[in-house]
């Protein structure tokens, strides 16, 4: 026997961005820098370069990197009990379910590991509920074009972006897409054969588009009139990002099913589907499940995250930070009308739409930003997106704005060459 195994030898060999191209299935095109350490909104790469992270790991790291209280919750649970399987329940999952139902319209929670799985559970529950109550012909699901609900075959088909479904046909049938915020289109298709209508209160991947309050209100009324369930996908906009715990609270329109994931675990994978007693009872023992769903490690972390975010003072600060950041971004847009058109979004979910001349070039801004120590996202080719940790300070907002201005100058200079 070798003293050092092959696996151990490999673990000691340096890995770089190049390694990604050698050993990973090519589903992503990651940046050339490889982050190795984070703290709050600060991040460092393999070379020791510093970045201000305004991506929040795509709306996941709401409390920033390695938040001490969340780390403590993880450490404590890691030394107590990791996993027991669904033949047993556990204390952290029951505490989290209690906290989430106390905090929302919901009576019941189902836990899983991602946003796609939360939506998959929601769509399956809506089908089962309608089948039981109205019969199998009530099976159609209505969603919006440009929406995003995950990457399983069912959720990606419900999502309204053909670029994500091409080549994966045949797709599940009985799905209809309507334009976001189009009340007339909703009226035309939400009829008696519809079992569910699903919408993101603020579209994320689709370009940071807030729903019009009248649109969500109209969907609520159409669902009530036809017996369809209204599902809000708050995987990206939930958990305090809009300044309320969930965006539905701000709109004053209550869904029948709510899905949440991304920020729920602050980076520890977990998703949840929340609903009422009456709807939950359409599922029975064996109807649905997942091995890791509601695992003690994930739920202990999520409970701590929820306790920190769901306080009036924390949420009030999110709104204050959002107002400050948005106002300063509007000044940037005003100073660079050749590059940007307008700022939109809700709370700390912010998009900057590119000008006519810079359509399709949002990525040039995020690339220049990275070279200037600033991490930003895009939401499609025409929108620069910011999803900073909700704990962003005023000093970090100023630093972000300064680096953004430098980056836009650099992008303009590169353009002029
Ligand atoms: C990210 C996202 C999903 C998918 O979540 P995963 O954890 O990637 O499966 C679903 N809906 C919305 C609105 C999202 O932003």
Please state the domain extents for the chain: 6-60+312-416, 68-309
Owner of token pair 């982050």:
35
Mean pLDDT of 401-409: 98
Chain mean pLDDT for the chain: 97
Four-way CATH pick for 68-309: 3.40.640.10, 3.30.450.20, 3.40.50.2300, 3.40.367.20: 3.40.640.10
Q: What is the dihedral of CA 295, 301, 303, 304, to 10 degrees?
A: 170
CATH of domain 6-60+312-416: 3.90.1150.10
pLDDT in tens, 345-364: 999 999 999 999 999 999 99
User: b vs e for 106-115, b when ≥16 Cβ sit within 10 Å of the residue's Cβ?
Assistant: bebbbbbbbb
Ligand 1 contacts CB of residue 154 (under 6 A): no
Nearest CA to ligand 1 atom 5: 115
The confidence band for 417, taking pLDDT boundaries of 50, 70 and 90, is confident
**CA 264 to CA 301: how far, in whole Å?**
9
Q: Is 390 helix (H, G, I), strand (E, B) or coil?
A: coil
| Overall pTM surpassing 0.95 (yes/no) | yes
pLDDT of residue 410: 98
Say what percent of the chain tops pLDDT 70. Answer: 99
Strand segments, DSSP code E, in 318-402 are 340-346, 349-354, 374-375, 377-378, 383-386
pLDDT of residue 236: 98
pLDDT in tens, 53-108: 999 999 999 999 999 999 999 999 999 999 999 999 999 999 999 999 999 999 99
pLDDT of residue 41: 98
To test the pocket of ligand 1, the residue of 113, 261, 266, 349 to mutate (highest count of ligand atoms within 8 Å of its CB) is 261
Tokens of 59: 């709306």
pLDDT of residue 57: 98
The confidence band for 13, taking pLDDT boundaries of 50, 70 and 90, is confident
The confidence band for 6, taking pLDDT boundaries of 50, 70 and 90, is confident
pLDDT of residue 40: 98
pLDDT in tens, 186-210: 999 999 999 999 999 999 999 999 9
Q: Which residues pair with 108 in a beta bridge?
A: 275
Q: Is the pLDDT of residue 124 over 60?
A: yes
Q: Is the pLDDT of residue 3 over 80?
A: no
pLDDT of residue 10: 74
Interstrand relation of 140-144 and 194-199 (parallel, antiparallel or unpaired): parallel
To test the pocket of ligand 1, the residue of 262, 351, 379 to mutate (highest count of ligand atoms within 8 Å of its CB) is 262
pLDDT in tens, 244-293: 999 999 999 999 999 999 999 999 999 999 999 999 999 999 999 999 99
Ligand 1 contacts CB of residue 113 (under 6 A): no
pLDDT in tens, 229-238: 999 999 999 9
Please name the residues in contact with 321: beta carbons below 8 A apart, sequence gap of 6 or more.
Answer: 348, 390, 392, 393, 394, 397
């Amino acid at each position: 026997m070798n003293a050092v195994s092959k696996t151990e030898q490999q673990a000691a060999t340096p890995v770089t961005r190049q390694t990604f191209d050698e050993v990973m299935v090519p589903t992503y095109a990651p940046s050339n820098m490889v982050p190795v350490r984070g703290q709050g909104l600060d991040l460092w790469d393999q070379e020791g370069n510093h970045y201000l992270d305004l991506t929040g790991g795509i709306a996941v790291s709401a409390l920033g990197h390695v938040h001490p209280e969340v780390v403590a919750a993880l450490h404590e649970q890691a030394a107590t009990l990791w996993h027991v399987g669904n033949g047993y329940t556990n204390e952290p999952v029951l505490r989290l379910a209690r906290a989430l139902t106390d905090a929302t319209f919901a009576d019941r929670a189902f836990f899983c590991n991602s946003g796609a799985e939360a939506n998959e559970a929601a769509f399956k529950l809506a089908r089962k509920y309608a089948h039981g109550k109205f019969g199998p012909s009530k099976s159609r699901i209505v969603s919006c074009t440009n929406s995003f609900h995950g990457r399983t075959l069912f959720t990606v088909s419900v999502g309204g972006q053909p670029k994500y479904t091409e080549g994966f046909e045949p797709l599940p049938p009985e799905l209809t897409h309507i334009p976001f915020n189009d009340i007339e289109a909703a009226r035309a298709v939400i009829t008696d054969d519809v079992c569910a209508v699903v919408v993101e209160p603020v579209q994320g991947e689709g370009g940071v588009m807030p729903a019009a309050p009248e649109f969500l209100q109209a969907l609520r009324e159409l669902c009530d009139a036809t017996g369809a369930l209204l599902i809000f996908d708050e995987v990206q906009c939930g958990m305090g990002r809009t300044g309320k715990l969930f965006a539905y609270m701000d709109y004053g329109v209550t869904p029948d099913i709510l899905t949440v994931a991304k920020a729920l675990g602050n980076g520890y994978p977990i998703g949840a589907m929340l609903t009422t007693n009456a709807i939950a009872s359409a599922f029975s023992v064996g109807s649905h499940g997942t091995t890791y769903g509601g695992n003690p490690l994930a739920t202990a972390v999520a409970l701590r995250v929820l306790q920190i975010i769901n306080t009036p003072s924390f949420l009030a600060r999110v709104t204050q930070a959002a107002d400050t950041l948005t106002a300063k971004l509007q000044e940037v847009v005003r100073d660079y009308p050749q590059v940007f058109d307008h700022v939109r979004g809700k709370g700390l979910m912010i998009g900057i739409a590119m000008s006519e001349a810079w359509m399709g070039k949002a990525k040039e801004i995020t690339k220049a930003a990275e070279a200037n120590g600033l991490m930003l996202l895009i939401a499609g080719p025409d929108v620069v997106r910011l999803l900073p940790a909700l704990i962003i300070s005023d000093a970090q907002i100023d630093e972000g704005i300064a680096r953004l201005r430098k980056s836009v100058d650099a992008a303009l200079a590169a353009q002029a060459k």
